[in-house]
Amino acid sequence: MLSLGYSLVRFDQQQLMASVDKTSVRNEVSRVKADFQKLCDNGNVSDEVKMLMSNMFMIIELMLSIFLEKITKKDHKNSSLSSSQTGKDDTALSQQGSQGKGKKENGFRASNTKTTEKVKRVKVLSCDICGEALNDIPCLHTERRTKIDIIFEKVVEHIDVEVKQCCHCEATVKGRFPSDMPGPLQYGNGLKATVINLMMSHMVAMNRVQKLIKSMIGITLSEASLLKFVLRLHQALATWEHNMTEKILNMKAIHVDETSLRVDQKNHWIHVYSAEEITLKILHRRRGKMAINEIDIIPRYGGIIIHDCWASYLTYPNCGHGLCGSHLLRELTFMVDSNHYRWATKIKLLLQEACRTVAKRASKKLTASEYAGLQ
């Protein structure tokens, strides 16, 4: 009997959770409190009952808040859950950016490209209606239509060095090849940059890069060549990475985050450290404190780190801490979705307005007076 009763209660709870109207429940509690307050104002309630009912209302509101939070579904828009852990979201496909112009693309243009522009003028020689010759009639104005095309050009440069025999000592002497051509076949920086861009920026698989490059130049590059291009860039950036790390350590605030990446079918983590125009992305097999210590940026940092609620970040007392505005907005969205708190709505609007204001400035920060106005 007890188990049957428990099952019925659980069934009723599930039915209630599935059909509850959050707004109506809140309104009903508010109505009961208002009615009780009227009784108190009319002197119809003793002090003991007032105290008892006040405590009961407090408990009811607490239980209601917990209940509404339990039945509110969490996703990547109102919690720290990643989009991969929640259902498909099609809203971003039609949403425009904050300026109403859609996503802003990177305006970078490679230096080894050129634009060939041609203007062709089509003359009017005769009238289409009556056939009158119009050769000597001045043009009123022109109308233009434009066609943009792209042509991939393969550049092959041969270096022939002379080989001579000295007439004095009979030694064989030959000219010197350029320093960037140590072997019989070399690939230029334009080709290397294209390969690295495809593999690193656009995450194209190596076999697809091989097929694409072959379709452009008629040569199949080996996987070893592709990996060597990436390795040499990594080595060339070592000094830059060291200098940027030291520069980040001197910043007043840095943003940190981590995201997963599969490497050889095993889960790794990309740790991101950014400040102003600098962004460092460091791959590590672990996510938590071991990785942070081995990367050795946060342990040496004395400013403020902006991060999510990942517990590992909060274990470093040597620096200040600030929660990411995006994650705060998600948590506030959950508060609004579950309990319709007005304070959460107001703080959310305040954060969004501050974000829009900062985004329009080169300094990317609020003024001292604006900070004071937030208090």
Residue 5 has pLDDT above 90, yes or no: no
The residue-averaged pLDDT of 252-257 equals: 94
Q: Pick left, alpha or beta for residue 364 (phi over 0 → left; psi -120 to 50 → alpha; otherwise beta).
A: left
- Which pLDDT value is given to residue 92? 44
Residue among 318, 321, 325, 327 nearest 365 (CA):
325
For position 57, what pLDDT does the model report?
A: 76
Mean pLDDT of 307-335: 89
Q: Check pLDDT > 70 for residue 79.
A: no
Helix (H, G, I), strand (E, B) or coil at 282: strand
Stretch 20-35: mean pLDDT: 72
In the chain, what percentage of residues exceed pLDDT 90?
46
pLDDT single digits (tens) 189-209: 999 999 999 999 898 999 999
Partners of 163 in the beta sheet? 174
Secondary structure (DSSP) of 194-263: HHHIIIIIS---HHHHHHHHHHHHS-PPPHHHHHHHHHHHHHHTHHHHHHHHHHHHTSSEEEEEEEEEEE
pTM given for the model: 0.63
Model pLDDT for residues 322-346, shown as the tens digit of each residue: 988 888 888 888 888 877 788 889 9
d(CA 156, CA 177): 16
pLDDT band at residue 300 under the 50/70/90 scheme: very high
The DSSP bridge partners found for residue 94 are none
Instruction: Write down the pLDDT at residue 38.
Output: 85
Most confident of 4-8, 170-174, 362-366: 170-174
Q: How many CB atoms lie within 10 A of CB 229?
A: 21
The H or E element that residue 284 is part of is: strand 278-284
Give tens-digit pLDDT for 96-148: 444 445 555 556 666 667 888 999 999 999 999 998 999 999 999 999 999 99
* pLDDT, position 7: 42
Domain boundaries, the chain: 2-71, 187-236, 237-323, 326-373
